[in-house]
């Protein structure tokens, strides 16, 4: 374990923003993490996984600690479920592929989401009608100040739409070490959300399998979303807003094509990408900061954009959507 000083974070965030960390260290065991925390106890600390849901707007005046914990294992099973534990440094899509190869069903709709497994409960990541809360069993985390291990059940995590206790009252207090997922022995297929059904038809799929659904999701995402290895981005930059049914009906009078999906009782979820596109931002570019031309929900770094430039672009988008629709967009990406 080595603690480095003044290290560029450009290789460690999917936006490719070139900022410096005062200190940088990586851990591959819980004991290494404890050593790092002990040595840097006086520093502000940021735990980093795949760096795929973060925007750095300035140098980080503290310690960035990268989670490199690896390993996937079947820890239990019952008549209906497999219980699969993944260490928090595992790549998320690699984990999905592992589950599909072992016929563990439940995460196939979450194929090709960037980042590591450790971020999955923090964000309650979701796509195409499935969220982490649907497959989550428990996780183990280290409290950074108390140096104590703690387990969290699904109810402990207080999952919401792209939310959990780790984004709110416990933000930056815990390092997630591993997550156990509860995956089905008999698949429960989700193909009615988005364009999955149409994509399966295009692919000529006769027998529905979790592999076929994963392939369809990969094709859809690849057609709409930029590869962060080529174009810096963090996937969806904004959450899809949830508005009251009354507000939705009122907007529908002026904007008949506004999308709407059932949310909790009395509320409708609409599409942030549609709202942004209606405001003329899709394909916009200023310098190296832009709004992706195939999906307005994605902000991109075309090369050497500064994080502040991307943040300022997001602020302009938020303002124009508010002005036109009266809807306040919320950033999904964590800002530092």
With contact defined as beta carbons under 8 Å apart, do 4 and 20 qualify?
no
* Catalytic-role residue among 111, 120, 164, 236: 236
Does the annotation mark 52 as catalytic? no
The strands making up 261-262's β-sheet, listed across from edge to edge, are 242-244, 267-269, 261-262
Contact 116, 88 (CB under 8 A): yes
Catalytic residue check, 314: no
Q: Is 166 helix (H, G, I), strand (E, B) or coil?
A: coil
The angle formed by the CA atoms of residues 269, 274 and 276, to the nearest 5 degrees, is 110
Q: Which of the following is catalytic: 52, 131, 162, 182? A: 162
Tokens 């992706």 map to which residue? 292
DSSP 215-240: HHHHHHHHHHS--TTTSEEEEE-BPP
Q: Is the dihedral of CA 260, 332, 298, 229 positive or negative?
A: negative
What span, in angstroms and rounded, lies between the C-alpha atoms of 194 and 49?
A: 28
For helices 92-101 and 210-224, what crossing angle results, to 10°?
150
Gyration radius of the chain over CA positions = 20
Q: Verify whether residue 138 is a known catalytic residue.
A: no
> Catalytic one among 90, 108, 131, 332?
332
Q: Which two three-digit tokens encode residue 151?
A: 């387990």
Beta carbons of 135 and 182 less than 8 angstroms apart: yes
The CA distance from 10 to 56, in Å, is 10
Active site residues: 162, 236, 332
């Amino acid at each position: 374990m080595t603690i480095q000083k003044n290290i560029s974070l450009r290789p460690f965030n999917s936006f490719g923003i070139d900022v410096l960390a005062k200190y940088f260290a990586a851990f591959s065991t819980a004991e290494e993490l404890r050593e790092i925390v002990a040595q840097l106890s006086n520093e502000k600390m940021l735990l980093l996984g795949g760096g795929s849901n973060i925007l750095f707007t300035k140098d980080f005046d503290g310690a960035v600690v990268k989670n490199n914990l690896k390993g996937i294992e079947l820890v239990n099973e019952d008549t209906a479920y497999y219980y699969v534990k993944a260490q928090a440094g595992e790549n998320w899509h690699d984990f999905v592929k592992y589950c599909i190869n072992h016929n563990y069903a439940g995460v196939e709709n979450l194929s090709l989401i960037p980042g590591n497994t450790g971020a999955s409960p923090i964000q309650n990541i979701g796509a195409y009608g499935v969220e982490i809360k649907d497959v989550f069993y428990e996780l183990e985390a280290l409290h950074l100040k108390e140096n104590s291990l703690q387990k969290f059940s699904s109810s402990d995590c207080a999952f919401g739409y792209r939310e959990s206790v780790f984004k709110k009252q416990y933000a930056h207090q815990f390092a997630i070490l591993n997550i156990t997922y509860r995956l089905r022995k008999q698949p429960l297929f989700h193909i009615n959300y988005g364009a999955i059904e149409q994509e399966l038809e295009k692919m000529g799929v006769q027998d529905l399998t979790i592999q076929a659904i994963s392939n369809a999701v990969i094709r859809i995402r690849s057609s709409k979303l930029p590869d962060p290895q080529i174009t810096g981005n963090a996937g969806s930059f904004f959450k899809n807003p949830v508005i009251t049914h009354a507000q939705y009906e009122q907007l529908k009078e002026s904007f008949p094509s506004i999308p709407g999906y059932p949310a909790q009782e009395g509320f409708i979820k609409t599409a942030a990408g549609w709202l942004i596109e209606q405001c003329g931002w899709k394909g916009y570019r200023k310098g190296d900061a832009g709004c992706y031309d195939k999906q307005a929900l994605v902000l991109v770094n075309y090369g050497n954009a500064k994080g502040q430039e991307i943040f300022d672009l997001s602020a302009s988008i938020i303002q124009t959507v508010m002005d036109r629709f009266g809807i306040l967009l919320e950033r999904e990406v964590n800002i530092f």
